[in-house]
Amino acid sequence: MYQGLLAETVTITGDHDDEIGAYLARPLGPGPFPGVLVIHHAPGWDGGSKEIARRFAAEGYVAICPNLYHRFGPDLAPDDAAAAARANGWITTDQFLGDAAGAVRFLRGMPVSNGKVGTIGYCSGGRQSFLCACELPVDAAVDCYGAFVINTPPPELPYKMEPIIDRAPKISCPILGLFGVEDKNPAPEEVAKIDAELTRLGKEYEFHSFENAGHGFFAVDRPMYRVEAAVEGWKLILGFYGRTLR
């Protein structure tokens, strides 16, 4: 555990060479340190997401959380930027991947980097972390209850999110999946289907589903928080990154 940390806002080069803001948290010291890309959830580049980045810094990782809603207004408060995202149809998969690739490049370019980078995301970010495992040169990916990986969203949803399981043959790193058995999206049936497909493809992965936990059990500021699942989940994440990134 590192007691001394540095956390700040930096500018990174994202999709289409756009400059976007990112929250960077790292341990003090010369390193070398592995990197973690923290993908914020649909409610935006909020305090909870930045708190997760600081937790990783305290655990000895350089963590970066890019503002995926930067283009809606770089100076907007996170909740206002999320409102703009809702009003404008969220962000595209290609734009997300371009910004994520920029964040990975930024981490690897830091003098304290050990060259390895993992990704993690929760809810919508869990799906996007799975996407990173398929499309980007990363060394590990953690998917916390990402939905619509294999299932098709219901037709009444105005946002047409495509399933991404067809990209799974391109997965090039180990994946850790953490889920709640009471979750409705992804429900245990969807998790089981992803599990079966990754087994069929011979990918390196491990899935854990927690009893007495539903969607969002890591979220410390919401009623959905479940202390047993969250504490055990953090142990699994740090163990996984310890094996894959150090």
Partner 1 sequence: MCSYVVEKAVLTGCAKAAGTWRPITDAVVAVDHPSHATLDHALIVDFVNAGRPMSERVALELSVASARDLIAAMQAALAAFDAGA
Note the residues at the interface with partner 1 (CB under 8 A). Answer: 41-44, 46, 72-73, 76-84, 86-87, 90, 123-124, 145, 147, 153, 157-159, 161, 183-186, 215-216, 221-224
Specify the DSSP class assigned to residue 29. S
Q: Which residues make Cβ contacts (< 8 Å) with residue 185, sequence separation at least 6? A: 147, 148, 151, 215
Residue 113 or 124: the one with the smaller Cβ distance to partner 1 is 124
Alpha helices per DSSP H over the chain: 47-58, 78-87, 93-108, 124-135, 188-201, 227-245
In the complex, what is the shortest distance from the CB of residue 171 to partner 1, in angstroms, rounded to a whole number? 22
Bridge partners, 121 (sequence order): 39, 143
Burial of 57 (0-12, 13-18, 19+ CB in 10 A): buried
In the complex, what is the shortest distance from the CB of residue 75 to partner 1, in angstroms, rounded to a whole number? 8
Residue with tokens 């998917």: 143
In the complex, what is the shortest distance from the CB of residue 21 to partner 1, in angstroms, rounded to a whole number? 16
- Are 27 and 3 in contact by the 8 Å Cβ rule? The answer is no
**Distance of alpha carbon 64 from alpha carbon 231, whole angstroms:** 22
Residue 128 or 244: the one with the smaller Cβ distance to partner 1 is 128
In the complex, what is the shortest distance from the CB of residue 230 to partner 1, in angstroms, rounded to a whole number? 15
- Are 60 and 2 in contact by the 8 Å Cβ rule? The answer is yes
Residue 1 or 87: the one with the smaller Cβ distance to partner 1 is 87
Residue 44 or 60: the one with the smaller Cβ distance to partner 1 is 44
In the complex, what is the shortest distance from the CB of residue 123 to partner 1, in angstroms, rounded to a whole number? 5
Residue 59 or 190: the one with the smaller Cβ distance to partner 1 is 190
In the complex, what is the shortest distance from the CB of residue 237 to partner 1, in angstroms, rounded to a whole number? 20
Bridge partners, 143 (sequence order): 121, 177
- 67 is written with which tokens? 């503002």
- 219 is written with which tokens? 């979220």
In the complex, what is the shortest distance from the CB of residue 51 to partner 1, in angstroms, rounded to a whole number? 15
Residue 76 or 110: the one with the smaller Cβ distance to partner 1 is 76
Closest CA to 25 of 83, 64, 76, 81: 64
Residue 159 or 202: the one with the smaller Cβ distance to partner 1 is 159
